[in-house]
């Protein structure tokens, strides 16, 4: 990556949020039509794992975006956005890039 590309990538990252992995419980999809209560089976809980940049974080919702693109100097475009209800979150892990260690001199 060239220096201008690296600087641009850092500018995107600075405006884009930290990288996280969120483990969360996904509610079951609604079933169409009426169901008899006697026949209802709640099913098992589905635990999901989503990874992306945390672009919004409050007590109601956690929002991740998978990709970002800086157009010109100011316009940040996002793609792959997912909204996760905060009450469904099991845990959040901050992911950090491992930096190369310089050799000892």
Residue 72 lies in a domain: yes
Find the domain containing 86 and state its range: 3-27+47-94
Residue 82 lies in a domain: yes
Residue 87 lies in a domain: yes
Cα(101)–Cα(47) distance, integer angstroms? 36
Residue 99 lies in a domain: no
Q: Tell me what the mean pLDDT of segment 70-84 comes to.
A: 86
For the chain, what percent of residues have pLDDT higher than 90?
39
Give the chain's domain count. Answer: 1
36-45: long-range contacts, CB 8 A cutoff, minimum separation 24: none
Per-residue pLDDT at 77 exceeds 60: yes
Q: What is the pTM of this model?
A: 0.70
Q: What is the pLDDT of residues 7-57, one digit of tens each?
A: 556 665 666 778 999 999 988 777 788 888 998 888 788 999 999 999 999
Looking at residue 103, what is its pLDDT? Answer: 63
Q: Tell me what the mean pLDDT of segment 81-103 comes to.
A: 86
CATH number at residue 59: 2.30.30.100
Residue 24 has a CB neighbour count (10 Å cut-off) of: 20
Residue 23 lies in a domain: yes
DSSP lists the bridge partners of residue 51 as 21
For the residues of 23-66, what is the DSSP string, one character each? EEEEPPPPPSS---GGG------EEEEEEEEEEEE-SSEEEEES
Residue 9 lies in a domain: yes
Report CA 82 to chain centroid distance, whole Å.
7
Residue 104 lies in a domain: no
Residue 90 lies in a domain: yes
């Amino acid at each position: 990556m060239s220096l201008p590309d690296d600087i641009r990538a850092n500018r995107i990252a600075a405006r884009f949020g930290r990288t996280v992995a969120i483990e969360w419980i996904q509610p079951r999809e609604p079933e169409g039509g009426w169901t008899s209560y006697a026949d209802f089976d709640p099913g098992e809980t589905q635990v999901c794992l989503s990874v992306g940049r945390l672009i919004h974080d409050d007590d109601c919702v956690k929002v991740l975006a998978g990709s970002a693109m800086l157009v010109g100097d100011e316009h940040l475009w996002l793609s792959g956005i997912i909204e996760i209800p905060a009450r469904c979150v099991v845990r959040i892990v901050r992911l950090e890039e491992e930096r190369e260690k310089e050799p000892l001199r």
